[in-house]
Copies of this chain bind each other. A is one copy, B any other.
């Protein structure tokens, strides 16, 4: 299968560029009978645009999702669903400079090497964060399918620029995450993150952070050891998101510093079900779900496009040069990335549940 496709049974093929005509996706393998129309995508699309203009790029588009196939009389048909968003608010002028003077930290250089200079460099082309509209569109469908089997996914900003959200119960996270302009459910941390992003933005610089996603009610016994471990499948899609440089499950890198006696999650019987007293494993043992919440943390580097003068090269002259990145860029991608991480986890779980036969191929009602 091509390199722009993810998934074995619930299969997602991404296409489109930042400043091309559109960004879209083909979702193949969706059961027939699921209610679906353009409205279903509206809220998720709006999550990409924080209301405060100081927290985001000035590129703002309505991003309405058009369904081109696979839906009939308000329901999915079982045929592949092609859905896309037309690009509207495009200003490609600032990108001329980076065509031959690659931005440090950006894919300008590697794209040029990979595609011999034929890539659509405008707005970062295929390497823009905007390409994750594919993930969001497919994610809306995946989340609707998961809802049918009681699985819930929630993501939030766990860290920006070193400022960490405090621990809190999942119910509280769910109720507060949408209230924060940076998608951080801890109000105090949210405020600090917000101020820090604005400050760093005013300096022309950028910040990274960590998004955490949790999936609830995933049945125990899903996944495989070795090459299709839950971690393999989930990390693989997380690393499809531009800017991701780290993925960990449960205690993750911290567990590398624990003793076995600290890290092992004891089992107990609770209301007739086997549960763990702690969840350092992130809900996965041996690549297979335990039935506890699946927890994944995703590290985003700071956006590479900054208004600070940086050393680079001139690709045509093969000599040193410098660049100051103008144009419309996010000072911190993390808040926008929250629904993308959520969608990605949903897509991965949907594929796994479908392969296990746990989502029926025809949905009634």
Docked-complex contact A13 and B13, CB < 8 angstroms:
yes
A82, A111, A162, A229 — most chain B CB neighbours (10 Å): A82
Docked-complex contact A78 and B118, CB < 8 angstroms:
yes
Using Cβ atoms and an 8 Å threshold, which residues of chain B touch A179?
Answer: none
Q: 1/0 contact trace for A283-323 toward B, CB 8 Å?
A: 01111111100000001111111101011110100111000
Please give me the residue from chain B that is nearest to A131 by CB atom: B226
Bound-complex Cα distance A235 to B235 (A):
6
Quick one: which of B28, B127, B251 contacts A286, CB cutoff 8 A?
A: B127
Bound-complex Cα distance A226 to B210 (A):
19
Using Cβ atoms and an 8 Å threshold, which residues of chain B touch A291?
Answer: 113
* Extra A-B contacts (12), CB below 8 Å, given A17-B72, A102-B267: A13-B28, A16-B82, A22-B69, A32-B115, A116-B364, A161-B257, A208-B257, A255-B301, A264-B310, A267-B313, A281-B301, A357-B361
Give A173-213 interface residues, CB cut-off 8 Å to B: 200, 205-210
Using Cβ atoms and an 8 Å threshold, which residues of chain B touch A93?
Answer: none
A59 at the interface (CB under 8 A from B): no
Docked-complex contact A119 and B248, CB < 8 angstroms:
no
Docked-complex contact A232 and B237, CB < 8 angstroms:
yes
A251, A302, A310 — most chain B CB neighbours (10 Å): A302
20 contacts between A and B (CB under 8 A): A2-B11, A13-B13, A16-B69, A22-B69, A23-B69, A79-B119, A79-B125, A107-B285, A109-B220, A109-B290, A113-B291, A114-B223, A236-B236, A246-B248, A259-B302, A263-B302, A269-B320, A277-B311, A281-B301, A356-B357
Docked-complex contact B263 and A301, CB < 8 angstroms:
yes
The 3 A-B residue pairs with the shortest CB-CB distance, nearest first, are: A107-B286, A357-B357, A2-B28
Docked-complex contact A259 and B207, CB < 8 angstroms:
yes
Chain A interface residue count, Cβ-Cβ cutoff 8 angstroms: 155
Docked-complex contact A260 and B303, CB < 8 angstroms:
yes
A77 at the interface (CB under 8 A from B): yes
Docked-complex contact A264 and B105, CB < 8 angstroms:
yes
A68 at the interface (CB under 8 A from B): yes
Contacts A206-B259, A306-B261; is A15 near B69 (CB within 8 Å)? yes
A110, A249, A255, A269 — most chain B CB neighbours (10 Å): A110
Using Cβ atoms and an 8 Å threshold, which residues of chain B touch A225?
Answer: 107, 111, 126-127, 131, 242
Docked-complex contact B120 and A79, CB < 8 angstroms:
yes
Please give me the residue from chain B that is nearest to A207 by CB atom: B259
Quick one: which of B13, B77, B261 contacts A26, CB cutoff 8 A?
A: B13
A343 at the interface (CB under 8 A from B): no
A50 at the interface (CB under 8 A from B): no
A148 at the interface (CB under 8 A from B): no
Using Cβ atoms and an 8 Å threshold, which residues of chain B touch A208?
Answer: 255-258, 263
- In the complex, how many angstroms separate the beta carbon of A257 from the nearest chain B beta carbon? 4
A8, A229, A247 — most chain B CB neighbours (10 Å): A247
Quick one: which of B7, B77, B103, B260 contacts A302, CB cutoff 8 A?
A: B260
Using Cβ atoms and an 8 Å threshold, which residues of chain B touch A277?
Answer: 311
Q: 1/0 contact trace for A18-30 toward B, CB 8 Å?
A: 0011111010110
A77, A118, A159 — most chain B CB neighbours (10 Å): A118
